[in-house]
């Protein structure tokens, strides 16, 4: 069987308004190109037959290949021929095409939003998410070469899937009884009427937070809950918070370099299948840090915690399992 790995790299991640209103770092596209080269080299070293790369407005894939030189690669590597809209829809469409073409793993280079876009259509393909955005929770900071090795090993099924792959939680957004969208990390209800700038940076706008994870070592809205009751990716529960002028106060790092005192009126743990109604209307819902959904007075919106999110490769476990099987020995 032909083994394939897909790569979806977002040239727009890590460049939003939070670099102006906070102290977030900038990862430019030259660095992303360099990371992409290392990912490709890592995948190629595992003996994968084909590598498919999503096209984008900056040409990350082609620039990476030009810097490597195709003669150095054993795998057949190509940038996919697909319509490009230069929006987040490209990541979703690329994931769908990769699934149809039988890739065994997808490497994502981006933030929480990029991975959400991919997860909408990636189905049961395991992801190797590498962080390049802001306030990231879902993707991880990892050396790109090692991530590429893990992706190739997973795609070729050189180690047992059950030892290295975990199904993650997600939030289903239910409007008038029908699922219309999803989030991997958090859904945040904002006191706004229009989407406007997509990134969240003004805490007084936040009314309700529903999250799959709440870790004090992360940045963003989930850090508020994390400083109350930490919830990790391996925990079954999620969390709900209603912000306001309640007696309970916590300090949280909501942006890079920005720590705020936050008032909480109510909070509770959520079990799989639990739903939270959006009570603040009209409003806007931000999904994984980006404003996406406008809620009208007449809309009935619920947010449900589910355990059917994307499968994700544990990079460290994958490399260690390959070592135990002698993969790296001549």
Per-residue tens of pLDDT for the chain, all 330 residues: 899 999 999 988 754 544 444 555 667 889 999 999 999 999 999 999 999 999 999 999 999 999 897 678 999 999 999 999 999 999 999 999 999 999 999 999 999 999 999 999 999 999 999 998 666 899 999 999 999 999 999 999 999 999 899 999 999 999 999 999 999 999 999 998 766 555 666 788 999 999 999 999 998 999 999 999 999 999 999 999 999 988 899 999 988 888 999 999 999 999 999 999 999 999 999 999 888 899 999 999 999 999 999 999 999 999 999 999 999 998
In terms of domains, do 145 and 187 share one?
Answer: no
If DSSP codes are grouped into helix, strand and coil, which group holds residue 9?
strand
User: In total, how many domains does the chain have?
Assistant: 2
Residues 109 and 199 in one domain: no
pLDDT, position 291: 86
Residue 135 placed within a domain? yes
Does this model's pTM top 0.85? My answer is: yes
Residues 272 and 258 in one domain: yes
Task: Looking at the structure, tell me whether residues 179 and 226 fall in a common domain.
Answer: yes
> Residue 265 falls within a domain, yes or no?
yes
| Best CA proximity match to 56, nearest among 96, 101, 11 | 11
My answer on whether 174 and 161 are in the same domain is: no
Q: State whether 146 and 179 are in the same domain.
A: no
74 Ramachandran zone, left/alpha/beta (phi>0; psi -120 to 50) = alpha
Domain that residue 203 falls in: 170-306
Same-domain status, 290 and 233? yes
Q: What does DSSP say about strands 283-287 and 170-175: parallel, antiparallel, or unpaired?
A: unpaired
Residue 330 inside a domain? The answer is no
Residue 294 · residue 301 · CB < 8 Å: no
Query: What are the residues facing 243 on neighbouring strands?
Result: 264
């Amino acid at each position: 069987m032909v083994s394939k790995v897909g790569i979806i790299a977002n040239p727009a991640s890590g460049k939003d308004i939070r670099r102006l209103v906070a102290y977030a770092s900038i990862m430019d596209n030259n660095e992303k190109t360099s990371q992409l080269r290392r990912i490709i080299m890592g995948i190629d070293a595992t003996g994968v037959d084909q590598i498919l790369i999503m096209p984008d407005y900056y040409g990350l894939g082609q620039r990476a290949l030009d810097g490597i030189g195709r003669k150095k690669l054993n795998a057949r590597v190509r940038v996919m021929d697909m319509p490009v809209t230069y929006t987040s829809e490209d990541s979703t469409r690329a994931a769908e095409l990769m699934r149809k073409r039988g890739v065994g793993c997808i490497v994502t280079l981006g933030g929480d939003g990029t991975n959400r876009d991919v997860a909408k259509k990636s189905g049961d393909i395991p992801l190797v998410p590498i962080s390049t955005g802001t306030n990231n929770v879902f993707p991880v900071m990892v050396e790109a070469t090692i991530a590429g090795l893990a992706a190739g090993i997973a795609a070729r099924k050189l180690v047992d899937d059950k030892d290295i792959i975990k199904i993650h939680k997600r939030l289903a957004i239910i409007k008038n009884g029908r699922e219309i969208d999803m989030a991997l990390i958090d859904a945040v209800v904002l006191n706004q009427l229009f989407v406007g700038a997509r990134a969240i940076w003004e805490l007084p706008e936040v009314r309700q937070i529903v999250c799959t994870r709440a870790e004090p070592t992360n940045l963003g809205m989930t850090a508020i809950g994390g400083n109350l009751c930490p919830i990790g990716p391996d925990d079954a529960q999620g969390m709900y918070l209603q912000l306001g002028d309640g007696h309970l106060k916590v300090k949280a790092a909501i942006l890079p370099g920005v720590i705020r005192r936050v008032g909480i009126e109510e909070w509770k743990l959520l079990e799989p299948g639990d739903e939270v109604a959006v009570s603040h209307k009209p409003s806007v819902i931000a999904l994984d840090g980006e404003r996406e959904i406008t809620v009208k007075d007449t809309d009935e919106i619920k947010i449900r915690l589910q355990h059917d999110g994307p499968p994700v490769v544990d990079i460290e476990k994958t490399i260690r399992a390959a070592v135990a099987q002698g993969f790296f020995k001549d």
